[in-house]
């Protein structure tokens, strides 16, 4: 199951929930206030890979060329 970010419309708390993509937002309870008023947030996808290449210290050099 994927991990989704939610924000409680009642208290504003932002939290993560491991749930099915088909689970309606109305069934997600806020861990702070307990209300079922959460909305799913859009979040950036996680991109795997080497941080050395992403920071410009990989084998190709900072400009991408050797």
CATH number of the domain at 37, please. Answer: 2.20.28
33 domain residue, yes or no: yes
> CB–CB of 66/53 below 8 Å?
no
Query: What confidence score (pLDDT) does residue 60 get?
Result: 58
Q: Quick check: helix, strand or coil at residue 34?
A: coil
Cβ atoms within 10 A of the Cβ of 28, count?
20
- Distance, CA of 41 to CA of 6 (rounded, Å): 5
Rg (CA), the chain: 19
Q: Is residue 63 part of a domain?
A: no
Mean pLDDT split into 10-residue runs, the chain, 66 residues: 93 95 94 96 72 53 59
Q: Does the model's pTM come out above 0.75?
A: no
49 falls within a domain: no
Tell me if 13 is assigned to some domain: yes
Count structural domains, the chain: 1
Inside any domain, residue 61: no
Residue 21 within a domain = yes
> For residue 20, what are the domain limits?
3-42
pLDDT at 14: 97
The answer to whether position 36 is within a domain reads yes
């Amino acid at each position: 199951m994927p991990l989704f970010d939610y924000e409680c419309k009642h208290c504003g708390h932002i939290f993560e929930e491991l749930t099915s993509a088909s689970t309606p937002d109305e069934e997600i309870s806020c861990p702070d206030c307990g209300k079922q008023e959460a909305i799913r947030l859009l979040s950036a996808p996680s991109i795997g890979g080497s941080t050395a290449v992403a920071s410009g210290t990989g084998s190709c050099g900072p400009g991408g060329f050797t």
